[in-house]
């Protein structure tokens, strides 16, 4: 796995589980806290065919129609654009690598071991009634989430979103299975909790939506900032 991609990919993991895609344009503001007591504010802009997530340092723009993703680094004032085809190819290569490495597979758990169970801790989040779910990928990766039953995500959103995780190295296939499982959840998550350890790395995070706004989002929201330099995608050949 490319080290430089790891931090933004973990950010994507935390944010993506709280990003809906529905008929109405939405702006969702969430508070994200880590296991060390630090916190950031993430903002998500959602239309029927585009999603932008921002944590102040990195932005990710997904065009669900064209199948292209733009990753923006505000500190470096650069961005790169990747095609869905390049993501697919990278995904295939990672799968082949994992198949040839039984030790890595044992560390991460079997990709077929994905469980979704409904919990009992329902609560109100950002004014929406949310049902409690527990999700597990093998024995190594676990989530808790609270899904707003009155806000729906289309199936194609999950299909497009899981391709983002082709960059996550051997974990990619696990997220492919995860998003297939998420199609069975009624509504989408407004709150998530992650507390797990993967490949020796402890991952702790909690994301809770504090505001959900409905209303048209300007088209320019889904473009890179003016003046930023475009660099070649690390996945494009």
Which pTM value belongs to this model? 0.73
Q: Is residue 237 part of a domain?
A: no
Separation between Cα atoms, residue 147 and residue 133, nearest integer Å: 8
Q: Is residue 236 part of a domain?
A: no
Q: What is the CATH number of the domain that holds 152?
A: 2.50.20.10
Q: Is residue 169 part of a domain?
A: yes
Exposed/middle/buried for residue 165 (C-beta within 10 Å: 0-12, 13-18, 19+):
buried
The domain of 71 spans: 3-231
Per-residue confidence (pLDDT) for residue 5, from 0 to 100: 42
Over range 169-185, report the average pLDDT. 63
Dump strand ranges (E) for the chain.
26-34, 39-46, 50-54, 58-63, 68-73, 78-83, 114-118, 123-125, 128-137, 141-148, 188-198, 201-214, 229-231
CB 51 within 8 Å of CB 63:
no
DSSP 228: P
Separation between Cα atoms, residue 124 and residue 126, nearest integer Å: 7
pLDDT above 50 (res 13): no
Neighbour tally for 191: CB within 10 Å:
23
CB 60 within 8 Å of CB 70:
yes
pLDDT category of residue 225 using cuts at 50, 70 and 90 = very high
**Which carries the bigger pLDDT value, residue 19 or residue 84?**
84
* Radius of gyration for the alpha carbons in the chain, expressed in angstroms and rounded: 17
Q: Is residue 192 part of a domain?
A: yes
Q: Give the best-scoring range by mean pLDDT among 106-110, 179-183, 225-229.
A: 225-229
Q: Is residue 145 part of a domain?
A: yes
How distant, in Å, are the alpha carbons of 61, 159, 189 from that of 183?
22, 9, 12
Q: Is residue 119 part of a domain?
A: yes
Task: Kindly report, residue by residue over 97-135, the tens digit of the pLDDT.
Answer: 666 566 555 555 555 567 888 999 999 999 999 999 988
185's CB contacts (< 8 A; 6+ apart) are 116, 133, 145, 147
In the chain, the number of structural domains is 1
């Amino acid at each position: 796995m490319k080290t430089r991609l790891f931090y933004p990919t973990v950010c994507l993991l935390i944010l993506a589980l709280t990003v809906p895609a529905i008929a109405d344009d939405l702006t969702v503001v969430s508070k994200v806290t880590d296991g060390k007591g630090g916190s950031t504010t993430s903002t998500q802009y959602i239309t029927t065919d585009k999603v932008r997530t921002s944590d102040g340092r990195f932005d990710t723009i997904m065009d669900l129609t064209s199948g292209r993703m733009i990753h923006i680094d505000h500190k470096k004032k650069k961005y790169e654009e990747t095609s869905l085809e390049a993501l697919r190819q990278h995904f295939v290569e990672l799968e082949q690598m994992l198949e040839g490495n039984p030790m890595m597979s044992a560390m991460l758990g079997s990709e077929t071991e994905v469980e979704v169970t409904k919990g009992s801790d329902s609560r109100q989040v950002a004014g929406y009634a949310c049902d409690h779910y527990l999700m597990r990928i093998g024995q190594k990766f676990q989530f808790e989430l609270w899904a707003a039953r009155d806000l729906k995500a289309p199936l194609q959103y999950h299909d497009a979103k899981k391709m983002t995780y082709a960059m996550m190295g051997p974990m990619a296939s696990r997220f492919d299975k995860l998003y297939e499982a998420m199609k069975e959840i009624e509504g989408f998550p407004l709150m998530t909790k992650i507390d797990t350890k993967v490949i020796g790395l402890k991952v702790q995070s909690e994301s809770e939506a504090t505001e959900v706004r409905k209303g048209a989002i300007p088209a320019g929201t889904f473009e890179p900032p003016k003046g930023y330099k475009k660099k070649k995608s690390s996945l494009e050949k």
